[in-house]
A and B are shown apart, each in its own frame.
Chain A
Amino acid sequence: MLLEVKDLRVRYGNIEALHGISFHVEEGEIVTLIGANGAGKTTTLMTISRQIPYVAELGGRVVGGSIMYQGEDLLHYKPHEVVSKFGISQVPEGRRIFGNLSVLENLMLATYSRKDKAQIQKDLRRVFEIFPRLEERKNQRGETLSGGEQQMLAVGRALMTRGRLMLLDEPSMGLAPVLVRDIFKTLAEINAQGTTILLVEQNANMALKLAHRGYVLETGNIVLEGTSEELANNPEVKKAYLGG
């Protein structure tokens, strides 16, 4: 088991956002967490990345549970160590690329803790192969990119950290359907090349097509789990998340 979240409880002030959720991700898998707005999906990813509680702007705190990764509890580590020591990258909600940095600088900043110069150059070439648009625009400021290009940059940045596990938060948000298909195709390729993926999505339809397994998150509880096929054929999931 690569990642095992156990009885995780997170609060914002007096409100408990996660009521003790448990799930796991195996090496090489694509696992999806689906659920409506406010179900706790982003909170889950932010807690794995240790942004909660370290980023004060987010305001949450962990009150119970564990996040085991390669035999260690991530809850004992700082946010940057989750990336540099454990290789868990995140493509955050709303992409959050650095608009005042060039595309190339965005990608290079993601290699902050890496020392393997030759491999960094190889990875940069790989990102430019996957997203040729980024190479065309490598000297442009991030904020001049379109929404789709910014999403490519956010994924490229996560690849540059050379993580084994990539967390993605709503990569489809705000993108045209054709762009969403492209991004998801790319994610399948990245997974085939060896990166494990934990994908959070409101677009359950796309997410279940891509993922091997999934969990349904509802107001801070995991209410269903199964293979993507099982979930896609589950009448309740169909009714609540697949529009029929």
Chain B
Amino acid sequence: MGLDIFLQHFLNALQWGSFYALIALGYTMVYGVLLLINFAHGDIFMVGAYIGFFIATFLLGIGGNSFAIPSWLILTLTILGSMVLTSGVGLTIERVAYRPLRERGANRLYVVITALMIGLFLEYLNLSLLGAADRGFPELIQTDVYTVGGVSFTNVKLIVIGLSVIVMVALEVFLRRTKIGMAMRAISYDKVAVPLMGVPMNAIIAATFVIGSSLAALAGIMYGSAYHVLSFDMGILIGWKAFIAAVVGGIGEVRGAMVGGFLLGFIEIFVVALGQVPGFEWLSSTYRDLVAFTVLLVILTVKPTGLFGVARRQKV
């Protein structure tokens, strides 16, 4: 594999890993705060993509008819609008489904089952409202292909990777520097002590769902812009994989979700890439998931708490 081809796959892996990482962050943050595996989160990604689809279609419609809206503005409005509305969906789910169970002291198992059901609910709500046909995500920005030294890449790919990195850095700063961020980290360590600091738990939990849902919405729009196909079940497999990425990184650990997401992206892209190298033709792309999950299983066997997870001990 020449350097140019390697770099080509490297960029693909960064893009593919961005989706996993952004979704994994939502899983890991909600887990950190509530110890809840929010299995509806993959479907939040789907909801975010569809909301983005409708906003973009609407804006392109009025832009095409009466007055032209610049494409960068459409993209920005689509992303922001979908993040806000998808956050609303995430908040509503937390408010009507999870919080009542939590306040009645329900066993965590019931909350996880509820999350699974919410996921199915979102899928089949979509199916019944919009039908089984896939939707084509509109092209929000003119795709340009650049070629530098044999490596070709699109502006969409650069935007996806760039935005993901910016968002993750911003999230890290938020968690380190703000009191809400501190409270989120504190809750993942000790839930009982946090209200004693005068911190309103439900506000922190709500903030967590807002952040997780908006990251999933961002991932959904970027996915739509890169692959242009939306379906009601698009969140299932990518959601499961992102969840596994979060566990491999160390569930509850924000950096773990980022690393786990990119790791999974890299393994998948490079397994397929390796299959094109002479001598490795037997490694067809159907091996992709098998190899990826084998690697992740090995990591978990060696380090059950995940790459960034730590076993907690209490000092007496």
**Cα A108 to Cα B181 with chains together (Å):** 12
B133 interfacial by beta-carbon distance below 8 Å:
no
Given contacts A55-B192, A57-B191, A58-B192, contact A80 B198 (CB under 8 A): yes
Query: Which residues on B sit within 8 Å (CB–CB) of A98?
Result: 185-186, 189-190, 193
* Minimum CB distance partner of B188 in chain A: A100
Query: Which residues on A sit within 8 Å (CB–CB) of B112?
Result: none
Q: Which of A86-141 contact B (CB under 8 A)?
A: 89-90, 92, 94, 96-101, 105, 108-114
Query: A141-152 interface mask toward B, CB cutoff 8 Å, 1 = contact, 0 = none?
Result: 001011100100
- Distance between A237 CB and nearest chain B CB, rounded to angstroms: 27
The answer on a CB contact under 8 Å between A84 and B190 is no
**Cα A89 to Cα B313 with chains together (Å):** 25
The answer on a CB contact under 8 Å between B186 and A101 is yes
B129 interfacial by beta-carbon distance below 8 Å:
no
Query: Which residues on A sit within 8 Å (CB–CB) of B182?
Result: 101, 105, 108-109
Query: Which residues on A sit within 8 Å (CB–CB) of B198?
Result: 80, 83-84, 110, 112-114, 161
Query: Which residues on B sit within 8 Å (CB–CB) of A96?
Result: 190, 192-193, 196
The answer on a CB contact under 8 Å between B185 and A90 is no
The answer on a CB contact under 8 Å between B201 and A94 is no
A59 interfacial by beta-carbon distance below 8 Å:
yes
A220 interfacial by beta-carbon distance below 8 Å:
no
Query: B173-186 interface mask toward A, CB cutoff 8 Å, 1 = contact, 0 = none?
Result: 00000010011011
- Distance between B69 CB and nearest chain A CB, rounded to angstroms: 41
Query: Which residues on B sit within 8 Å (CB–CB) of A143?
Result: 313, 315
The answer on a CB contact under 8 Å between A51 and B192 is yes
- Distance between B112 CB and nearest chain A CB, rounded to angstroms: 15
The answer on a CB contact under 8 Å between A57 and B179 is no
Query: Which residues on A sit within 8 Å (CB–CB) of B149?
Result: none
**Cα A56 to Cα B198 with chains together (Å):** 17
**Cα A54 to Cα B195 with chains together (Å):** 10
Query: B186-217 interface mask toward A, CB cutoff 8 Å, 1 = contact, 0 = none?
Result: 10111111011111110000000000000000
* Minimum CB distance partner of A49 in chain B: B196
Query: A30-59 interface mask toward B, CB cutoff 8 Å, 1 = contact, 0 = none?
Result: 000000000000000000011101111111
Given contacts A109-B182, A109-B197, contact A99 B192 (CB under 8 A): no
The answer on a CB contact under 8 Å between B189 and A92 is no
A213 interfacial by beta-carbon distance below 8 Å:
no
**Cα A56 to Cα B35 with chains together (Å):** 13
- Distance between A142 CB and nearest chain B CB, rounded to angstroms: 8
B105 interfacial by beta-carbon distance below 8 Å:
yes
- Distance between A172 CB and nearest chain B CB, rounded to angstroms: 12
The answer on a CB contact under 8 Å between B195 and A174 is no
A171 interfacial by beta-carbon distance below 8 Å:
no
The answer on a CB contact under 8 Å between B179 and A108 is yes
The answer on a CB contact under 8 Å between B315 and A150 is yes
The answer on a CB contact under 8 Å between A56 and B314 is no
Could you list which residues of chain B lie within 8 angstroms of chain A, going by C-beta atoms? 102-103, 105, 179, 182-183, 185-186, 188-193, 195-201, 312-316
Could you list which residues of chain A lie within 8 angstroms of chain B, going by C-beta atoms? 49-51, 53-59, 78-80, 83-84, 89-90, 92, 94, 96-101, 105, 108-114, 143, 145-147, 150, 157, 161, 173-174
- Other 19 A-B pairs with CB < 8 A, given A110-B198, A143-B313, A161-B197: A51-B195, A53-B105, A55-B195, A58-B192, A79-B201, A83-B195, A83-B196, A84-B198, A97-B193, A98-B185, A99-B189, A101-B189, A109-B179, A109-B183, A112-B183, A113-B200, A114-B198, A143-B315, A145-B315
28 A–B pairs (Cβ distance < 8 Å), ordered by A? A49-B195, A49-B196, A53-B105, A54-B103, A55-B195, A56-B102, A56-B105, A58-B192, A59-B105, A79-B201, A80-B199, A80-B200, A80-B201, A83-B195, A83-B196, A83-B198, A92-B196, A94-B314, A98-B189, A98-B193, A100-B185, A100-B188, A101-B186, A101-B189, A109-B183, A109-B186, A109-B199, A112-B197
Q: Would you list the 10 A-B pairs with minimal beta carbon distance, nearest first?
A: A83-B198, A79-B195, A96-B193, A56-B105, A84-B198, A113-B198, A98-B186, A80-B200, A174-B316, A112-B199
